Amino acid sequence: MSIAPSNPLLLRQLQPFVVGTADNVGCFDMQPFGLRVEDTHVFDPLRLASAPFLDRLCALDAAAFGPEGMPMPRWIFLDGGELTGGVVGFGLAADALPAPWREALCVPDDHVGLVPVSMYIAIPTAESGAWVGHNLSSLAARVRDPALRGLGSLTKAVALRLLRTRTQIGAAQWDSPALRVHARLGALEVISAWTPAHGKPWTVTYRARIDEPALLHLARDPRGAVDFPAPSLWLASDDHAAMGMLQDRIEAGERFRFAGRPEPLEGGGQRIPLAEG
């Protein structure tokens, strides 16, 4: 099946890329939703020629998360994603970059070839088809441009398809706008609601079952659909005490799922609908 995101500019303007070792790329679906990944847009992190493009991935990470975010040390890009799994995203030729995009991404004047504007980094697990998604970056987080609307969602959907994902595990802060993207996959199961193992304990660890309607919904394709249960409680994204209580209930054996997408609150933050069971 093809994919038709509600913002048609994305696929008209941008081209998919993959970073992965030759062994890993051989396991991927290199025509996700019928999109073709050009051979020149496949980058092996163990090859010298990939270095300029990988530099640009670091720049994208820095631009997307900003100085207040969690920029990833360069070696963690390699050890934590490029070697074990893959990086999938969209880019645009350097000579076609609009000036504000070029500036936000700190693209050097002499850079030629593809410049990444979004990426999804995923690490495999021991369960076949189950991946941990650990970074979703989009230039749309930094540059307000209608041409980029929905880029993060589309990137994640295409990446999950390309990686042949059946289950996705992820971690995000309860107050992160990215949670609205992740929740487009449907009724995410909450694995942890308060996570001291993370640098930011107000992190939710979730698990999503992946199927085609959910991926299309994630990509904002009108043909996509997901089901949510009716909400039985709402969690405010700044209510750490409630997160701790939720965690206690999870550790006691109760289960919770997302019952919809987070709703932004006036004055900042968001509230998240949840359902028991």
Partner 1 sequence: MLSDARALEGLSPYLVATPALQARLTERPLGLAVPRGHCFDPTRRASAPFLSRLEQLDQVVSGPLAMAMPRWAFYDCAELPGLVCGFASSAGSVPERLREVWPLEARNGPVPLSMCMAVPMLQRDRWLAYVLCDLHEALPGATPPPLRIPSLALACDLTGARRMQGVTQWSSSKLAALASFAPLSLRAAWVPAHSVPATCVVEFDAGAAAIADALAAPQRELAARPRWLDVGDPSALEMLQRELEAGAEPSILGAPRRRGGSRVVPLSPEAWEPA
Residues that bind partner 1 (CB under 8 A): 23-24, 27, 45-48, 50-51, 54, 70, 72-85, 123-127, 131-132, 134-135, 169, 171, 191-192, 194-200, 203, 205, 247, 251
- CB distance 190 to 275 below 8 Å: no
CB of 80 to partner 1, least distance (A): 3
Where does residue 155 rank: exposed (0-12), middle (13-18), buried (19+ CB within 10 A)?
A: buried
Q: How far apart are CA 173 and CA 194, in angstroms?
A: 10
Question: For strand 189-192 and strand 203-209, is the pairing parallel, antiparallel, or unpaired?
Answer: antiparallel
Nearer to partner 1, 4 or 25 (CB): 25
CB of 197 to partner 1, least distance (A): 4
Nearer to partner 1, 149 or 207 (CB): 207
Nearer to partner 1, 47 or 255 (CB): 47
CB of 240 to partner 1, least distance (A): 13
CB of 41 to partner 1, least distance (A): 17
CB of 225 to partner 1, least distance (A): 28
**Residue 31 tokens, joined:** 């025509």
Nearer to partner 1, 116 or 150 (CB): 116
Nearer to partner 1, 145 or 239 (CB): 239
Q: How far apart are CA 47 and CA 21, in angstroms?
A: 9
CB of 83 to partner 1, least distance (A): 6
CB of 150 to partner 1, least distance (A): 24
CB of 79 to partner 1, least distance (A): 4
Nearer to partner 1, 73 or 222 (CB): 73
Nearer to partner 1, 54 or 141 (CB): 54
Q: Token match 């309607």: residue?
A: 213
- CB distance 133 to 119 below 8 Å: no
Nearer to partner 1, 80 or 98 (CB): 80
